[in-house]
Structure 1
């Protein structure tokens, strides 16, 4: 008995070692079989066709990394228990209709990295249980109508890295349970809106490396269950229409490595469920104040590797759930506490890779340096020189009052500035200030409105106020404010503009530009006697003389022309002889009347 048991055990061991069988059938040549997992592995065996006599009860078949070129009709008929099949990394260029017929339990099918150019309708017929399909890294040009018609249980479709130029409107018909779609690196020139609208259950959509330049309005309509949208590596994308994302209930949005020059506030304002926003690697220069307040549930904002120069006060006002801000590798010199709704809610802050000026504006960050999570990358100072390249965590409490300080704004020249000018005159008012950090100069008009760098009354880059073509209504007091984080300083100037006399012209600014208009003299202006004639005597003499000379010139030219014309006609005759027949008398008539002749002299 002992010997018989040893023999049986040895035979079974040899069978397992060489993979010569599974529970119901023999293992194909050059393949390895594992009865415990019901797996047949034929990967990398240089096969040019699908092996015959495959075990009918196997659950996993690996045919990857071979030289398969064609899959015939009903190629795998009889493998009713098969759940996973890998056909990736072959040279398959043709799959016949109903090639996978009979694989009613197949759940995972991978045809990645082959040479497919087109998928005929009916290829996937019979794959009712399929949940994952990978068609990436092929050469597919188009998805035809009803290509995926019988795949009602498919949940994930990988279709990236193809040569797709067109997706038919009904290509995705039948994919009522598809949850994730990846369309990466294709030749699509626009979003296939109508085709995507068939995917009512889609929750994740990934679109990488496309050459589309804009997202038009309603481009993702009817994708009400979409929760995650990933757009990345679109170098031409510079515009999002204001309603491009309308109808979506996204919780995660990534638009990175594109060409957005500003945060697309109008397109984002509808996304009230958004929690995660990533706009990294776009040439965005600022985050403006009070424009993200509609994103009530926003928790994370990532804007890495951009051109951020400024985050304005109130930028995150109203975002009560805001927890994570990552603005590393930008051009920020500071981040003021006033940008946040509540800094007490902030948990993760990434400021590394920015040229930070360590002054009073960053004191709130340094004081929280042991509680805030910098994700293992401590912010460092670039200025002032005495603390250059020092990490925030390295400062002691005693150093903070001496290092992180600011010098209040101070207007340098406070001499009284008053101007009394006439209409149409240009005038400049100076307002120069110093402080640390450098103060911001603002001007308030006589009507208590904030003046901008554009318009007839404008603020120049150096803080000077310019009033061009002054008008009476410009009169009043103007106030300059120089402010920084440490305090403000103000200066008032006076402008009085006198109206034009009646007989003078004054320029006015219209939509067409500057024009001049005449006004009657005012009561205070000196009256002048109006000239009853439109021209003076000198003007009349000059005009008369010029008119007479013009008349003589015209007559002379006519005579010369007539002289040369007559010479061209030859010798001129001065007489002409005319024959005539006299009219018959009242009583006579008939023939035989005498004829007459007379000679006429030509003058």
Structure 2
């Protein structure tokens, strides 16, 4: 019995070792997102390839935070409160290909901060308050200019004031000499170099900023799309407002629009005519709203769409034909919703898809309908982020579900595709979503039951040995 006790203890040690207690680990993915972390966890595995630290409370990064970074290919640090990081923080990531730093409070990058990221193929820096009135931002400006292939064409890496892009600090008259004989422009020279908007490009009322073909109405407390947006607008930012309702054909006159950001609003529904006329739209953000479903005809006009962000809503289900017109879509983000199953054929028309994020949902791996998603995932293993999609409760990866694991008895009655109720859960979604985030990768209730069984077995074995 002593041997049994030792074996059980070794088993527990094997299960819990190699992964920080604050995170969930599966394969080469370390998921520390949505953990309210104020610092980078210690003891990260040396073989980690994807490290998620997004949606936490990080404020500062040090070069000592990532001692085991040699194998990391993807690093997500977005949506924290990072204000700065020390020089050398990213010096030891020889295999890093994707770096996400968007949605933080960064104002500049330390000189040489990105110089050793030689294998990078994508970086996200938008939604940061870049301070174009301090000298250090000019390193970032030069770096963007020499690494433009790493940025999406419409990534908004813009200054926090005067609606100018960080990359615009280039080809200017340099007037300030530094100690190492490098010259940089003064702030008046920068502002003087920015062309005035054309006479036929007028801004809407109430404080939106306009430049060239960009209209920025961010954080203006709008409750609807403002009137007077120019027909030639290519980029429209309406994020961080109080928009609850969008009128049908609200963007119909803006047929040149290529980027539309409606994120961080209060939108709970969209009519099927919302996006009429937007055949040239390439990038659409509707994340961080209150959508519970999508009209099956909502996305039909968006035949040129390449990136769609629906994450952080309350979506319970998806209509089978919701994405039928999106044959050019390259990336789809459906993370942090209330999805539990996907109807057969929902993703079949996405022929150009390169990446999809389905993490942090309520995937019902006991319902037979989950097999439609499992089959699609196994046939699309090259799509990024599929290996990290977990069943509700975090006890198993969705892609690992097999037919013997499921049954009809764990599915709610289907009310038809038109009602889009296939993906409802059998538990309270408001409380369940938080539980899913907090236990993503490890089910705390199951762990407690497992621990109790282990203690009971150990106690019993001791009792029997004494008897």
TM over 0.5: no
Structure with a larger share of its residues in strand? 1
TM-score bin, normalised by smaller chain: 0.3 to 0.5
Structure with a larger share of its residues in helix? 2
Structure having greater relative contact order (Cα 8 Å, sep ≥ 6):
2
Q: Report the TM-score when normalising by structure 1.
A: 0.36
> Which structure has the bigger radius of gyration?
1
Q: Report the TM-score when normalising by structure 2.
A: 0.45
